[in-house]
Amino acid sequence: MAIVGQRYAYRERARMLGEPVVPVIVVKEGPPRSRKVRIRHLDGEYEGFEEWVPKSRLVAPWEEVNAFCDDERRLLNAVKASGDVQGSIIYKAAEEVFGAIAELFGEELIFFGWKAIEQNLIIIKDFEKSVHKLGLGREELLSEPHAFIDRYGDYKAPFHVSERVVKDFCKRFPKEILRYIQLEENKLRQKAISASTLYEQEFAEEWLVKQKPVFALVREWCGEKALAEFNEVAELRKEIRRLQALIEATARWLKDAGHPVKASLLLKELRRATNCSEYEES
């Protein structure tokens, strides 16, 4: 939102990060649909000249210009150090871990950038608060080459930092992360089974194949011991569900055979044993 009478940093090609900016002042607001403002140049060869320009060219308030330019410079260095890794197996695996962490903490505190230029960067929102909540090493993160905290308080760093961070998460929260990717994998399998069209089924199956090495890498990060324990617990839960279904079927048989009291007592014992409060006595 541009404010009449306020000075801004103006850049003709707004999306060309690193290009020079010049000071201008907004002298008039254009019609809402135009998304334009009338500006007056305050310096350089166009000093005093007025023109209508898109609001998007006003890249920052002029009083923030130094911090704005510093952020752009550091951002470009971080992007250059990252390379193009988006879509790789390790990138997707890190995304899965970030998804699990967001679910675990109830909010998205750490992720890859949403803007096109930042998609290869790891970002920690509101760094000073989030780094403590996530249990990460503040000084270690800040010591990473090309890492920085921008003027909004968000931490940004090249992609290689994410590998160390997600491995740390996998070491500290293996059960939660393994459970998360197991659920994600099960969702894809279910989509492949329940797809209403052949196209949807083939798409789901293809996506499941593509995600297989991604899930495998996350499991590798969690470690063999954690994975074995998780699988053991999963098998135990599966057996418990089988036994629950068997007892429920027995209770229904008892009720149908004219023994409703015995059926009710059996279901009550089942609830007590499994600490479950909802069973259908039908």
pLDDT of residue 195: 79
Cβ burial of 236 (10 Å; 0-12, 13-18, 19+) is exposed
> What is the model's pLDDT at position 265?
81
The encoded tokens of residue 264 equal 């009710």
Per-residue model confidence (pLDDT) at position 261: 82
Q: What pLDDT score was predicted for residue 278?
A: 43
CA pair distance 185, 217, nearest whole angstrom: 13
CA 7, 13, 14, 16 torsion-angle sign = negative
pLDDT of residue 256: 84
155-190 residue pLDDT tens: 999 999 999 999 999 999 999 999 999 999 988 888
Residue 277: its pLDDT value, please?
40
3-state secondary structure of 83: coil
The pair of three-digit structure tokens given for residue 169, joined into one six-digit string: 């998460």
Question: What does pLDDT average to in each consecutive run of 10 residues of the chain (282 residues)?
Answer: 92 92 95 92 92 95 96 96 93 97 96 94 97 96 96 96 96 95 89 83 87 95 85 63 76 82 78 56 40
End-to-end CA distance of the chain: 62
Tokens of 60: 């920052």
d(CA 52, CA 8): 14
